[in-house]
Structure 1
């Protein structure tokens, strides 16, 4: 355990926190066209209104931490993913503007509703494509990106893009099951059941496709005796899926959301098994990309102060708005 590993853990935690906290509100944006105009859409929007903006703090921390702690990785990854990253940022901006203006400009609410969905879909799809492009391998020569402008666009990256759309939509449906009542809650349960099956199929397809991308992925997952450990990941996925559908059948409020998060956690664990200790898979390790020791130490002091503060105000905001939500807000 050294500072480089600690910083890799901090950035990994920021990414997990972003997926956990921003995934469900992006998912609500993806599902938004399927909700009835009026009360149902207002209720869905109100369910994320107190927390959605703060959720993106973790995205800023993850990208900023990558630049500061692993500058070589940042210099390689960003040029390779310029297009999806720009698309993601534009989607998040468009989505944020639509979120605010749909309340302040009721005469054009239909337009802002469509903008909210469009921004959510673009941001999510771009994130999935970026993940797929990173996992499939980036062309590196020396210490710089050496691929073309369209290297990120492949069938595999498109597959991961659609996979993330389904995954975030599942989180959004589970969040609405937890936070809403009556007809909207029943609709969310129906969507969650269908999206769970779709996500499981996407996880299987992406996992099988990943094994053929790099020799190290195949070796780490299927070579003996390592397979005795890695086999526990798909086994755990089956168990969590069973518990997820059991909680839906029993009409639990919060449990389906946390079981869906557990599925995401297992996917991220599988990603870690595939690429660790690389930060640019099969190209650059975390130690090769790391900033100097003194820089990491200096930043760790700041992170040790700011991360607990961010966690505290985030936990407080979720605690304050912990109840069910109606058309007029939380109660």
Structure 2
């Protein structure tokens, strides 16, 4: 395994950790409209209050790694997806500000609720838009973006945008099931299965449309031995769905969140396998897009130190604030 492959794995890990950790943060805002009670909303936000800002560290790690090691990808993706990424960042700002101000507001609390809902749903949607546009491929000429500034807007990118909203909503709902109890938890349980069914539908649609909209991915799936290696994935997805249904019926607490993580992991692995070894689909491989080996080695030396620290404090944060969250807990967000 060469240093370029190691860096591709680190960036892939960072993006996956961001999707999982900040995904359920955003998911809480997405399902907010289904729970209008102010006290319940306070409790829902308190479940992520100690950890939500730390979760975004993984987005910074992935972006910084991309800039340092794959600068061509960074500049090309930023040029091609400038608008959806700016919209995403604006939504994340609204979400973050509403998180801070909502706890102190009285008369305007409902407005900050709307900002939290809109910021969460918007950030998820535009992340999905960016993913769909990336999967479609980015036209390049002489190492530069050569496409339309609105080329990211397509039926496929809208599909992936909505799919990621549903994904985050399921993660958020399952996280809350694990962190709450009583009547709120019972009503959250009722939301889990419809969200799971919706996510399965989006997985099926995206899996169908991905090879249809890119013949190179279709060839990779069906004209090589990859098809047989990917064959277990649909069965694993079906198994996750079966156990999710059973966990909801049994009113289990932690199992739905673990199974939701399993569904996200299976989808993510499918995407990585479909794209590899391209850094920009059908344009540049990871080796063609990589910075000089000396730059990769230098930045890897720092990452070897920083990455364990990030993993350690993330783990510690979740360990310290483990267990159920109840009204009146000392770690409530104020």
1:80 is aligned to 2:80? yes
- Mapped to 2, the partners of 1:81 and 1:327 lie a distance apart of 42
- Mapped to 1, the partners of 2:100 and 2:311 lie a distance apart of 25
- Mapped to 2, the partners of 1:86 and 1:226 lie a distance apart of 36
- Mapped to 1, the partners of 2:212 and 2:283 lie a distance apart of 16
Aligned to 1:279, the other structure's residue is in SS state: strand
Aligned to 1:294: 294
Q: Aligned residues, how many?
A: 331
- Mapped to 2, the partners of 1:278 and 1:153 lie a distance apart of 22
Alignment of 1:19-58 (within 5 A): 19-58=19-58
Distance 1:211 1:40, change over 3 A: same
Aligned to 2:10: 10
Aligned to 2:168: 168
Aligned to 2:140: 140
How far residue 216 of structure 1 moved from its aligned partner, in angstroms, is 2.0
Aligned to 1:227: 227
1:321 is aligned to 2:321? yes
Aligned to 1:254: 254
**Superposed CA offset, 1:120-168 (max 9, x none):** 0111001000000000111111200000110000000000000000000
Runs of 4+ in 1 over 4 A off after TM superposition: none
Does the 8 A contact of 1:214 with 1:282 survive in 2? no
Aligned to 1:308: 308
How far residue 39 of structure 1 moved from its aligned partner, in angstroms, is 1.4
Aligned to 2:120: 120
TM-score (norm 2): 0.97
Does the 8 A contact of 2:193 with 2:244 survive in 1? no
- Mapped to 2, the partners of 1:12 and 1:59 lie a distance apart of 11
Does the 8 A contact of 1:176 with 1:184 survive in 2? no
- Mapped to 1, the partners of 2:122 and 2:36 lie a distance apart of 22
Aligned to 2:197: 197
**Superposed CA offset, 1:195-253 (max 9, x none):** 00000001001110001122221122223543211111112111111122222222211
How far residue 178 of structure 1 moved from its aligned partner, in angstroms, is 0.3
- Mapped to 2, the partners of 1:106 and 1:225 lie a distance apart of 60
TM-score (norm 1): 0.98
How far residue 7 of structure 1 moved from its aligned partner, in angstroms, is 0.3
Distance 1:65 1:46, change over 3 A: same
- Mapped to 1, the partners of 2:240 and 2:219 lie a distance apart of 26
- Mapped to 1, the partners of 2:109 and 2:95 lie a distance apart of 13
